Structure 1
Amino acid sequence: MDSGDLRFSIRVVFALCLVCFSVGFDPVDKYYVNCGSSNDVKVGNSIYVADKSASKFLTTPQDILADSNLNSITPSEESLLYRTARIYTGPSKYTFSISQNGRHWIRLYFYPFVYQNYDMRSASFTVFAQKTALVSDFTPKNVTVKEFSVNVMSGDLVIAFSPSSNSFAYINALEVVSVPDSLIVDHASLFNPSGEFNGLVNQALETVARVNMGGPFVSFSNDTLGRTWVSDRSFLLQPNLATNESKISAVKYPQGGPTTDIAPPTVYGTCTMMNSGSDPNSNFNVTWVFSVDPGFQYLIRLHFCDIVSTAANQLVFNVYIDSFLVSPDLELSTKSGGQLATAYYMDFVTTPFDKSKLGLSIGPSPRSAYPGALLNGLEIMKMNNSRGSLAGAAILPTFPGSKKNLGVIVGVSIGVPLALVMIGILFFMHRRRRQERLRHSRTWVPISINGGTTMGSKYSTGTTISVGSNMSYRIPFIAVQEATNNFDESWVIGIGGFGKVYKGILNDGTKVAVKRGNPRSQQGLAEFRTEIEMLSQFRHRHLVSLIGYCDEKNEMILVYEYMENGTLKSHLYGSNLPNLSWKQRLEICIGAARGLHYLHTGDAKAVIHRDVKSANILLDENLMAKVADFGLSKTGPELDQTHVSTAVKGSFGYLDPEYFRRQQLTEKSDVYSFGVVLFEVLCARPVIDPSLPREMVNLAEWAMKWQKKGQLDQIIDPNLVGKIKSDSLRKFGETGEKCLADFGVDRPSMGDVLWNLEYALQLQEATVHNDPEENSTNVIGQLSPQVGDFNHVDASPSVAQFETSSVDDLSGVSMSRVFSQLVKSEGR
């Protein structure tokens, strides 16, 4: 490229992207840095100070100021910003003092050139604002301006540069400038499903597109905030379907509505509209298509101003975002009291995109007398994801104070991960060898339960387990075969660590779930025996019932009541099942908590489940939850003991870290696992997902990070956004946080968890007036007055005696009445 072409390219791209402020808005904070240069540069009304003047803001391990030496280019305001750059060979940061908290523009200017041994065309790096990754592994190829806006809530704004491995970072110019508070309000409309998104103020945003529909390029000098707006022609899918109109002088700004800070008259005064011509039967959409990054939500701002109608109620049309009808039968004059040519805008937030193109369309409404539709302006802004990032996975680096510290940082950053990898490999090899030994040595052996007879051949009577009613639990193998159509593979409804689970139908028409042990499974005789022992002595509406077992032909088969809706896990992710509402999820959590609370308190000794997870919470035809799979369950400690010492067992991701460290099991281990389930229910994602960035892999750690920041709403299931009352979410998050306390002594009992979940449900369903402290156990008395009516019950019987009454069930007892027993010390 010769110097003339280069000069032309720089002028054109800079004209499209450069932003500096005009007279209309005077920002409180304004920093303009001409990076790598020893001279100030004036662009428009702004002065970009020389790099040496801005060095007081910078922390970097090495000073490298690069000059392009493009002396053949005629100097101009545009080109001078790109003639120099600062190069960063290690983590570096700018720290700008912020006088006025709130949203600020961050604009980064890049133009790659070769300086000594640094070819900026191959540079790769990540840029952060505070802890938000703005770009990740970024390699600018041409003149590029990246514009972001972040909400600064402290006294300083830190912008950091982190080179990718074996690379470096650079920048030509940098801006940090205040934004009016009115520019981004806190809420916007959601669609698919419809609702309201709250929390925009705290979102970091990246400008993806800012478009002037039907008009030419709008320069910074015609925008009170110094923005630039590009023409929409290159984004139109079928330009022949559209036509333009311009009436800039007619634009009016309504009192209490949009101002020129939202968009200038040069945007509201032009539009792209349907090219219906003289055909009253025209029926098509005008569509624009934009490139976006998958995996992010987007804030879409639509600017309207009816500059084409001659009377109110004349133009009625539909607006679509990505084929979803977001604004049906839009009639602009109704938004402005019957006034025409009046500025109006709408904000929408998308669900996370799974594709790289975003479409926007306008088209006629059946209610319109004549087919027509228009759009004046459009802004598309990427929103930070649940990790607080605008650019995928990135980890904020440690910033050195000197070159000497850099070597230490590099050594640690390489050495620690390498050591962890080596430890992981050794652990995996050891575990694999151990599993191989166990697999080769495992055989089925006869079972003896409660001193009864052992498994026999198909002619023997085998072991019989009886409960209080003397009902036998043993089922002949031939009956199980018939029930499962001879273990028909098409009847398999699940596969677990123990073996396959089949759907079955007994001779009397009863639907059952049949779990058939796999001889090669890591679970076997002990789990089989424990499952039978536990389920034969407990009956509760929130525990899956054991119908029988079979031990013939060296088989280990368990037969349960059939749960029509499968596992809770399958309703949260990994299937096409309908989404659960927040109320349904709360009721399921409450049901599971009741089952676990019964295990912990329903007998003289607590029973610890040891494998609480969403896959072991089953749902019946009414979505009532029942806890299942008691193969790892263990009787709790004696009265004079605090724990049971035992080998660690459970499921990765749900395992109590204290139990793992000390091999000391208590009921609080179940509480921890249940806390993980609570966040799994809220976020609808696996508890361990190695495909995610490192900080997101473990759900418990990730959710706790956001809970402690008070921003749990940022990571909830998108299907729940706008559908959870803030008080209910806060109580639910606090409950999960307490369950995940590092030490068991700091965790609540399952009774306390149950109470808090009941309260979260009541907060969701009704507004509580004069709400007292939510942590007070007296709240239940105000929310459930019927508790007071239960005071005549003798408090002396234990909860175990109460819950194992004649029906051995809580199904007929109001939980609020049970609470009055639980809050008494003798009932715990």
Structure 2
Amino acid sequence: MEMMGKSNLVPVTHKSNNMSPFIIGGVVLGGLVLVCIFGGLLFIGLRRRKPKPVETSEWSPLPIFKGSSHGYSKTPSKEGTITASPVPNLNLGLRIPLDEIQLATKNFDKKLQIGKGGFGTVYQGTLRNGLKVAMKRSQPGSGQGLLEFQTEIMVLSKIRHRHLGSLIGYCDERLEMILVYELMEKGTLRDHLYNAKLPCLSWKQRLDICIGSARGLHYLHKGASGGIIHRDVKSTNILLDENLVAKVADFGLSRSGPPDQSHVSTGIKGTFGYLNPEYFKTQQLTEKSDVYSFGVVLLEVLYARPAINPALPREQVNLAEWGMRCKNKGLLDQIVDPSIRDQINPNSLRKFAEITEKCLQEDACDRPGMGDVAWDLEYALQLQQTAVVQEPLEDSASNVNGMLSLHVIQHLPSTNIEFEGDDMSIIKEDESDSVPSASGVFSQLKMDEAR
């Protein structure tokens, strides 16, 4: 029995030794499979969590605010939920948490409402760092204005200019679309032209505002990457800061592309009264479309009346048509805004009217570029300032002729104007780089004034 027991043990031991490599191999293989599965799940999890740093990272304003501490730290929303963003994968570092915006506007208090437009309602508020801002909010969840929302962010994230509005940030949480801008203390140009409660703008102030706006549009057309057509130039889209410095705003309808390229629009966009006639006929959109719209703004500045006023007699409803008819009849000085009529020098008025007429030409090829418009407006301002300087000399008959020539030559803008700050140099395309003689300048001045 003992021998049988021993003999039975031997085969069992031998069998166990033969199967051990298979068992070990199976265990190792299974372990590798588990490691691969775990690694795959980890990789997928990391990929899904990758966008989250955008939601929790710091944001900073655009480069125009370099040197000032306007940075914010983003905190997750109280609900902890993440909704699809209307502005995917931009990574511009400009997102502002909705909680921060609600705090700044006291949960969109109607008392802080400062305006309303096609995109939505505008509120003023103060961010946690003390920066005063204007917040443009679309109707929550409506989905309207999505393209304008995206366009405005994309355009303003790549341009910077003293006479263009600045984007501080945006919010796209919980189906909201909110754009946050620097607050323009003095409101819109239109407010100062039509609102009797606000101080009346002098002729010089109006010229300065027009010059600043023209510079901003010139940079938009020629200085911005690829060239940008604003597409909705009007007096409500020209904002004024506390020093009445003009900034062109509202780029929701803008189009990008090479400066000389025309765009075929699938639908009429813009504001009636400011749209150039050929846009209706051909739907061709160029930078000269902005020039026409700016010409209407110049008439608003001169007459202090809306571009379209249905309450007026039929022939006066459209400002552009009525204004040009009055100019051709020689009635311009009679219909100028009465509050500034006595301030305007006749030569400055004639030059301003000449610029306006060029901007409002039906054929786009006959309109000047915004660079030329800015230059000519500078000239109109110089004529106005020269007249102011000459007034004390008018009683002296012996000195008036000589001093007139001297002052005019000293105040004449050069053909190459260096704009301050980020403004571009504007060079008249039809003139050479050589500096003209004093007699040549005076002759040219006389011809211009005789127009």
Same fold flag (TM > 0.5): yes
Corresponding letter in the other structure for 1:670: D
Corresponding letter in the other structure for 1:491: L
1:478-517 deviation line (CA, Å, top 9, x unaligned):
0110111110000000000111000010001100000001
**Whole-Å Cα distance in 2 between the matches of residues 539 and 661 of structure 1?**
34
> Residue 474 of structure 1: which of 95, 103, 111 is its match?
95
1:603 aligns with 2:224: yes
Q: Within 5 A, what are the aligned runs for 1:223-234?
A: none
> Residue 264 of structure 2: which of 624, 637, 645 is its match?
645
**Whole-Å Cα distance in 2 between the matches of residues 785 and 538 of structure 1?**
27
Corresponding letter in the other structure for 2:232: D
> Residue 486 of structure 1: which of 75, 100, 107 is its match?
107
1:571 aligns with 2:192: yes
Partner of 1:677: 297
1:168-207 deviation line (CA, Å, top 9, x unaligned):
xxxxxxxxxxxxxxxxxxxxxxxxxxxxxxxxxxxxxxxx
Equivalent residue of 1:526, what SS?
helix
Identity over aligned residues, as a percent?
59
> Residue 234 of structure 2: which of 595, 608, 613 is its match?
613
Q: CA deviation at 1:661?
A: 1.1
Q: Within 5 A, what are the aligned runs for 1:710-729?
A: 710-729=330-349
Equivalent residue of 2:185, what SS?
coil
Equivalent residue of 1:515, what SS?
strand
1:317-372 deviation line (CA, Å, top 9, x unaligned):
xxxxxxxxxxxxxxxxxxxxxxxxxxxxxxxxxxxxxxxxxxxxxxxxxxxxxxxx
1:92-149 deviation line (CA, Å, top 9, x unaligned):
xxxxxxxxxxxxxxxxxxxxxxxxxxxxxxxxxxxxxxxxxxxxxxxxxxxxxxxxxx
Partner of 1:664: 284
Asked whether the equivalents of residues 637 and 644 of structure 1 are also in contact (C-alpha less than 8 Å), the reply is no
Equivalent residue of 1:752, what SS?
helix
Partner of 1:819: 426
Partner of 1:783: 412
Q: CA deviation at 1:581?
A: 0.2
1:26-65 deviation line (CA, Å, top 9, x unaligned):
xxxxxxxxxxxxxxxxxxxxxxxxxxxxxxxxxxxxxxxx
Query: Which structure has the highest strand share of the two?
Result: 1
Asked whether the equivalents of residues 186 and 244 of structure 2 are also in contact (C-alpha less than 8 Å), the reply is yes
Q: CA deviation at 1:818?
A: 1.9
Q: CA deviation at 1:731?
A: 0.5
Partner of 1:764: 384
1:544-602 deviation line (CA, Å, top 9, x unaligned):
10000000010000000000000000000044111000000000001111110000001
Q: Which runs of 5+ in 1 are unaligned?
A: 1-451, 772-778, 791-809
**Whole-Å Cα distance in 2 between the matches of residues 481 and 670 of structure 1?**
36
Equivalent residue of 2:174, what SS?
helix
**Whole-Å Cα distance in 2 between the matches of residues 563 and 581 of structure 1?**
20
Q: CA deviation at 1:643?
A: 1.0
Q: CA deviation at 1:722?
A: 1.2
Partner of 2:362: 742
Q: CA deviation at 1:780?
A: 9.6
Partner of 1:626: 247
Q: Within 5 A, what are the aligned runs for 1:386-397?
A: none
Q: CA deviation at 1:521?
A: 7.5
Corresponding letter in the other structure for 2:386: A
Equivalent residue of 2:213, what SS?
helix
**Whole-Å Cα distance in 1 between the matches of residues 432 and 328 of structure 2?**
31
Q: CA deviation at 1:638?
A: 7.1
Question: In 2 relative to 1, CA 525–574 (structure 1 residues): closer, same or farther, beyond 3 Å?
Answer: same
**Whole-Å Cα distance in 1 between the matches of residues 119 and 164 of structure 2?**
19
1:732 aligns with 2:366: no
The answer to which structure, 1 or 2, has the higher relative contact order (CA under 8 A, 6+ apart) is 2
Equivalent residue of 2:210, what SS?
helix
**Whole-Å Cα distance in 2 between the matches of residues 622 and 608 of structure 1?**
27
Corresponding letter in the other structure for 2:112: W
Give the root-mean-square deviation of aligned CA atoms. 3.1
Partner of 1:93: none
- TM-score of the superposed pair, with normalisation by structure 2: 0.69
**Whole-Å Cα distance in 2 between the matches of residues 627 and 770 of structure 1?**
41
Partner of 1:85: none
1:718-758 deviation line (CA, Å, top 9, x unaligned):
10111100000000011111100011001010001101101
**Whole-Å Cα distance in 1 between the matches of residues 322 and 143 of structure 2?**
30
- TM-score of the superposed pair, with normalisation by structure 1: 0.39
**Whole-Å Cα distance in 1 between the matches of residues 190 and 432 of structure 2?**
35
Q: CA deviation at 1:465?
A: 3.7
Partner of 1:702: 322
Question: In 2 relative to 1, CA 757–478 (structure 1 residues): closer, same or farther, beyond 3 Å?
Answer: same
Question: In 2 relative to 1, CA 651–635 (structure 1 residues): closer, same or farther, beyond 3 Å?
Answer: same
1:583 aligns with 2:212: no
**Whole-Å Cα distance in 1 between the matches of residues 410 and 325 of structure 2?**
33
Partner of 1:4: none
Question: In 2 relative to 1, CA 638–737 (structure 1 residues): closer, same or farther, beyond 3 Å?
Answer: closer
Q: CA deviation at 1:648?
A: 1.8
Q: CA deviation at 1:603?
A: 3.1
Corresponding letter in the other structure for 2:331: Q
1:512 aligns with 2:119: no
Q: CA deviation at 1:460?
A: 3.6
Partner of 2:183: 562
Q: CA deviation at 1:539?
A: 0.7
Partner of 2:12: none
Question: In 2 relative to 1, CA 698–519 (structure 1 residues): closer, same or farther, beyond 3 Å?
Answer: farther
Query: Which structure has the highest helix share of the two?
Result: 2
Aligned residue pairs, count: 339
**Whole-Å Cα distance in 2 between the matches of residues 514 and 550 of structure 1?**
10
**Whole-Å Cα distance in 1 between the matches of residues 336 and 235 of structure 2?**
17
Q: Within 5 A, what are the aligned runs for 1:519-558?
A: 524-558=145-179
Question: In 2 relative to 1, CA 585–530 (structure 1 residues): closer, same or farther, beyond 3 Å?
Answer: same
